[in-house]
Structure 1
Amino acid sequence: MQIQKVRIVSNNICYGPEPLPNDEVEQHLTISASGRVWFTGYKYANGFGKFEISRRHQFNIGKLVVKEILELFSQYLDSDQLTCYATDIGTWEMKITDTKGEVHTFKGSLCGGVTVADIDITFYLRQQIPVSNLFVFEDSFMESDEK
């Protein structure tokens, strides 16, 4: 399937202590077939539903890299994977738009494990997209994942 864009909204608010006002709690990542990437991070600020932008980036990762990324998401669409759901961690929602304009929506918890052909998509995106501390499908960071 040909993909036009992928949009992932990751929110790491969970049960437990309330985040501090400057804690980044939500991230929006959009990757388009043209190679453009849009990222916005939101801090907790004034409470749930009253987030404020903490950082914003727009850049181009190139058509070769984006082609590989979108191919992974195309394989994900075809894989019919089970999704991890947990109530004590954050969540993600992904919308994949194909070239026909059809939107495919997926949801899960930030527990990782989103893979295609033994490739961890979170780890792969962290290697390809120059944004530090990307949540994507999990909110834990390994030192080697960080940019």
Structure 2
Amino acid sequence: MQIQKVRIISNNICFGPEPLPDDEVEQHLTISANGGIWFTGYKYGNGFGRFEISRKQQFNIGKSAVKKILELFSQYLDSDQLTCYATDIGTWEMTITDTKGEVHTFKGSLCGGVTVGDIDITRFLRRYLPINQLFIFDGCE
């Protein structure tokens, strides 16, 4: 399947102490087929639902790198994997839009284990994307 873009929202708020105002609690990552990468990190700010932007990056990784990344997500779409859910950790939501405009949505907890074969997608993305402290699917473990 040909993929147009992937968007991942990772939120690391969990049960326990309330985050401090400057703690980064949510990240939005978009990867497009033309190699464009958009990243926004949000700090807790004034509380849940009132997050503030803490950092932003926009850059291009080139077509060969993005081709490898999107092919991995295409394989993920076809793999019909079980998703890890836990109640005391953060969550992620991923939307994959194919070239036909169909949107595929996946959700899970930030417990890692999102793989295609023996490839951990979180580690794979961290290798290609020059963004520090990416939560993606494991909350930056």
**Which TM class, normalised by the smaller chain length?**
over 0.9
Query: Offset of 1:117 from its aligned partner?
Result: 1.7
Which consecutive residues of structure 1, in runs of 5 or more, have no partner in the other structure? 142-147
Q: Which amino acid aligns with 1:89?
A: I
TM-score, normalized by length of structure 2? 0.99
Aligned to 2:46: 46
Which consecutive residues of structure 2, in runs of 5 or more, have no partner in the other structure? none
TM-score, normalized by length of structure 1? 0.95
Aligned to 1:10: 10
2: CA distance between counterparts of 1:72 and 1:94?
Answer: 14
1:71-104 CA-to-partner distances (Å, cap 9, x unmatched) read 0000000000000000000000000000000000
Aligned to 1:144: none
Q: Is the 8 A contact 2:94 2:106 kept in 1?
A: yes
Q: How many residues align?
A: 141
1:34-60 CA-to-partner distances (Å, cap 9, x unmatched) read 000000000000000000000000000
Q: Which amino acid aligns with 2:91?
A: T
2: CA distance between counterparts of 1:125 and 1:20?
Answer: 28
Q: Which amino acid aligns with 2:70?
A: L
Counterparts of 1:66-105 in structure 2, within 5 Å, are: 66-105=66-105
1:116-145 CA-to-partner distances (Å, cap 9, x unmatched) read 02000001101100000000001133xxxx
Give me the CA root mean square deviation. 0.5
Structure 1's consecutive aligned runs of 4 or more residues displaced over 4 angstroms after TM superposition are: none
Counterparts of 1:89-128 in structure 2, within 5 Å, are: 89-128=89-128
Identity of aligned residues (%): 80
Counterparts of 1:128-139 in structure 2, within 5 Å, are: 128-139=128-139
